[in-house]
């Protein structure tokens, strides 16, 4: 997973270098789709369609209100242990909220907005990691029905992680350079899940591929001010597959830049 994040970082740097010497967006006007930074530049028209006045057209660009980097804190709700009825296990997926984080890096983005930049629709493609830090010295066993396991030894921290491909879509109104409000949703495709135990002294243990749901989806609300945003998300999708672990919903509150 570390190699994947390194590759993603290098990819973003390459995009930035390319953007510094290429067009910054596509202008959609009465003459079609035109490449260039300013209306007075020479442009390449690739598509024609009937349109109204030029000042009522839309502008498509790679810069969006969806932040390049987001950091949030996870809170679990609506927990259910129905699958554990009749057993002594229950209520074990207890996390430390301020140490259970969500980190998102959006690698690509596109925005379609009005020329006066008061309304737009943004979409992005990125990677997301959710970290659930356990509040006690326990971990999870990868059985058909996930079970809690007490950890022996000098434990520094124990957590459960998921890594996913992240696809958000948001509709916004306002003035992005000053203040804007966004609402939308997202779909995460989980590519990896694992437990991680870090012992005092530096030793680590990992167990991969738990029975999590491949698709995680939810809704987002965001306030953007001068390039900085505060967002809230709700994920009703269950983390684990039905009958394979505890059921829960997730709230995330975070910042983006």
Q: How confident is the model at residue 172 (pLDDT cuts 50, 70, 90)?
A: very high
Average pLDDT over residues 187-216: 95
pTM (predicted TM-score): 0.77
According to the model, what pLDDT value does residue 115 have? Answer: 82
- The fraction of the chain above a pLDDT of 90, given in percent, is 65
Q: Which residues pair with 256 in a beta bridge?
A: 70, 229
Residue 96: other Cβ atoms inside 10 A? 14
More confident residue, 202 or 187: 187
Query: pLDDT value at position 57?
Result: 60
Tens digits of per-residue pLDDT, 232-250? 999 999 999 999 999 999 9
For the cut 90, the answer to whether the pLDDT of residue 182 exceeds it is yes
pLDDT band at 227 (very low <50, low <70, confident <90, very high): confident
Q: Could you identify the residue written with the tokens 């830049």?
A: 257
On the 0-12 / 13-18 / 19+ scale of CB atoms within 10 A, 113 is buried
**107 — pLDDT class (breaks 50, 70, 90):** very high
From the list 206, 205, 207, 209, the residue with the least C-alpha distance to 193 is 209
Nearest by Cα to 176 from 104, 255, 121: 121
Give the CATH fold of the 62-256 domain.
Porin (2.40.160)
Which pLDDT score is estimated for 197?
96
The residues, ordered by sequence, that sit 6+ positions from 187 with a Cβ below 8 Å of its Cβ are 166, 167, 215, 216, 217
Average pLDDT over residues 97-114: 94
Cα–Cα distance list, 242 to 89, 164, 234 (Å): 17, 19, 19
Beta strand pairing call for 228-235 and 69-80: unpaired
Q: pLDDT at position 83, please?
A: 92
Interacting residues of 224 by C-beta distance below 8 A, sequence separation 6+ = 65, 172, 174, 176, 179, 180, 181, 182
Mean pLDDT throughout 14-35?
Answer: 40
Q: Confidence band (pLDDT; 50, 70, 90) for 18?
A: very low
pLDDT in tens, 124-154: 999 999 999 999 999 999 989 999 999 988 9
Q: Which of 9-18, 28-37, 54-63 has the lowest mean pLDDT?
A: 28-37
Residue 219 CA to residue 64 CA, distance in Å, equals 18
Please give the structure tokens belonging to residue 120. 């737009």
Which has the closest alpha carbon to 75: 255, 220, 245, 253?
253
Q: Is the pLDDT of residue 2 over 90?
A: no
């Amino acid at each position: 997973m570390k190699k994947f994040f390194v590759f993603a970082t290098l990819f973003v740097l390459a995009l930035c270098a390319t953007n510094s010497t290429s067009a910054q967006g596509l202008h959609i006007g009465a003459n079609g789709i035109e490449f260039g930074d300013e209306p007075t530049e020479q442009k390449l028209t690739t598509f024609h369609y009937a349109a109204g006045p030029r000042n009522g057209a839309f502008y498509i660009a790679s810069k969006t209100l969806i932040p390049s980097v987001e950091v949030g804190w996870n809170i679990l709700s609506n927990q259910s242990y129905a699958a554990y009825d009749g057993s002594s296990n229950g209520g074990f997926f207890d996390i430390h909220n301020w140490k259970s984080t969500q980190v998102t890096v959006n690698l690509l983005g596109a925005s379609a907005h009005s020329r006066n930049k008061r309304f737009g629709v943004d979409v992005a493609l990125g990677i997301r990691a959710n970290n659930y830090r356990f509040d006690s010295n326990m971990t999870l066993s990868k059985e058909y029905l996930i079970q809690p396991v007490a950890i022996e030894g000098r434990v520094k921290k124990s957590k459960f992680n998921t890594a996913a491909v992240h696809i958000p879509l948001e509709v916004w109104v306002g003035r992005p350079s000053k203040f804007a409000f966004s609402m939308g949703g997202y779909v995460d495709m989980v590519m990896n899940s694992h437990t991680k135990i870090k012992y005092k002294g530096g030793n680590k243990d990992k167990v991969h591929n738990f029975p999590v749901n491949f698709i995680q989806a939810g809704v987002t609300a965001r306030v953007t001010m001068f390039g900085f945003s505060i967002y809230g998300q709700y994920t009703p999708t269950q983390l684990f597959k039905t009958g394979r672990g505890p059921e829960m919903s997730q709230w995330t509150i975070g910042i983006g830049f």
